[in-house]
Amino acid sequence: MQFLLRLYLSKRTVIFIITLVFCWGCKKFVTVTAPATSINSSNVYTTDATAASVLTGIYANLSNNFSGFLPSMSLVGGLSADELTLYSASTNPAYIGYYTNALTNINTSGYDFWTTTYSLIYTADAAIEGLQASTSLTPSVKQQLLGEAFFVRAFCYFYLVNLYGDVPLAVTSDYKVNASLPRTPKVQVWQQIVNDIKNAGSLLNKNFVYSDAMTIISERTRPNKWAALALAARAYLYTGDWQDAELASDSLINGIAPFPLQLAPNLDSIFLMNSSEAIWQLQPVSSNPTNTQDGYVFIIPATGPNNNRNPVYLSNDLLSSFEPNDLRRYGGHWVDSTIGGTTTYFYPYKYKVNDPSATVSEYEMVLRLGEQYLIRAEARAQQGNTTGAIDDLNSIRTRAGLPNYAGANDQASVLAAILHERQVELFTEWGNRWLDLKRTGNIDAVMTAACPRKGGVWNVNSQLYPILLTELQRDYKLVQNQGY
């Protein structure tokens, strides 16, 4: 806990900086010159400490908004797909909407990603402008922070374009411009994502750095060049650029990093703080819980699921997908269970700490090497190198205690095996299953069967989330996704 306090600025300071940056886009009715000793939009990028605080604040918000309790990509994505079962007594309209794939433009309120993500993008836009204009920062600090800002913007747009399709492309902090942006075709959004990642990769430190954006440390909680490379591999995979996806993932798997980067030796060590597999993690910023929000929400108590803190458990669809003797399913490594009444509930157990006051031992995993093996496998298979793809597939299977892949080696069979491996390796991690079903074109086939089991009726339009009514009312150029 002491290190947590040392690595991040005080919560009050972070909130102040975030509030300050967000307020730059607000229309000013009265203009007052700030005292020379205050921190304001005109001087926040004049010192290394205040400039670094802005990016630190973004990570605090990412931790709360993406991997936090509400909303959560892991939770909401798992509900939308076929990974999680919603507790039958749940009365939360947003949970029910995601779970039955029957969202409306009002029942996602408080649980949607549009508003929170654009707030983060706005902060990144303002940071890019402020950092580029600054002439007083230490050059290495300015370079690192600018790289982080480009990285964050790309990361946020990655999720927006996957969840909503065409989205407004805001790359300026000018509120007059941003207030009336139309939706940009997703091919252009993807190009912006790739360009931002390239910019980030050219600027970021190859080492992990402290909150001062300069001192080298072992904490893997600020993006570096390797994180940019991991996000690039994912972006190339999603856009069908198989050659660049293979090159990026191969650089991570075979590259000589200035820190240990290798597959964690066993399943129970992967999600620990600073594990050897971690490329980028989010450090907990809350005192309740002190570890990850995923562990806090997903681990079901002995009394069973409930309508408040623990509203979900693993679906039969996911549980039946594991092969016999898969250590990810059996042995209490990534799946555990509890008996509530006469029912056995199986729940995600990748994160093992749900005591709100426990000593910090786990960080939220965002990017990890295991995913890179599966990215390279898929990219290789798509290019006809099924032998190389199977080698990567077996690297993941071996750690799970499974024999080598013994299926057919034609491209279609190998690609199907890789998608299945992603299902059982990346379950309840940042909505990977939901996004995989969409990008591979399998969503209609899978969800037509899965949705009725969840109490809904599948509609092809449900693969994109609706834009909130309040957002449509703010921007008259926005057009709702089809079917809402």
Give per-residue pLDDT as tens, 189-216: 999 999 999 999 999 999 999 999 999 9
Chain mean position to CA 388: 28
Q: Which residue from 164, 170, 58, 69 is spatially nearest to 110, judged by alpha carbons?
A: 69
DSSP of 369-411: HHHHHHHHHHHHHHTT-HHHHHHHHHHHHHHTTPPPP-S--SH
pLDDT at 40: 56
What band does 288 get if pLDDT is binned at 50, 70 and 90?
Answer: confident
Positive or negative torsion for Cα 284, 287, 289, 293: negative
Helices (H), 41-185: 48-65, 73-80, 93-99, 114-133, 139-164, 175-178
Measured CA to CA, the distance from residue 12 to residue 340 in angstroms comes to 41
Residue 344: enclosing H or E segment and its boundaries? strand 343-348
What band does 34 get if pLDDT is binned at 50, 70 and 90?
Answer: very low
What band does 465 get if pLDDT is binned at 50, 70 and 90?
Answer: very high
Q: Which two tokens stand for residue 146?
A: 């600018």
User: In this predicted model, what pLDDT tens digit does every residue of 311-325 receive, in sequence order?
Assistant: 999 999 999 999 999
Q: Cα dist. 188→7, 157, 341 in Å?
A: 37, 11, 52
Whether the model pTM is above 0.85: yes
Place of tokens 């069979």: 413
User: In this predicted model, what pLDDT tens digit does every residue of 347-376 receive, in sequence order?
Assistant: 999 999 998 889 999 999 999 999 999 999
DSSP state of 429: S
User: In this predicted model, what pLDDT tens digit does every residue of 391-433 receive, in sequence order?
Assistant: 999 999 999 999 999 999 999 999 999 999 999 999 999 999 9
According to the 3-state scheme, what is the secondary structure of 22-48? HHHHCCCCCCCCCCCCCCCCCCCCCCH
pLDDT at 19 over 90: no
pLDDT at 256: 84
Stretch among 29-38, 113-122, 176-185 having the lowest mean pLDDT:
29-38
Query: What type of residue is 199?
Result: N
The region that residue 167 occupies, defined by phi over 0 for left and psi between -120 and 50 for alpha, beta otherwise, is beta
Contact 237, 378 (CB under 8 A): yes
Which residues have C-beta within 8 Å of that of residue 389, sequence separation ≥ 6? 376, 377, 378, 380, 381, 414, 418
Stretch among 48-62, 236-250, 433-447 having the lowest mean pLDDT:
48-62
Percent of the chain predicted with pLDDT > 90: 80
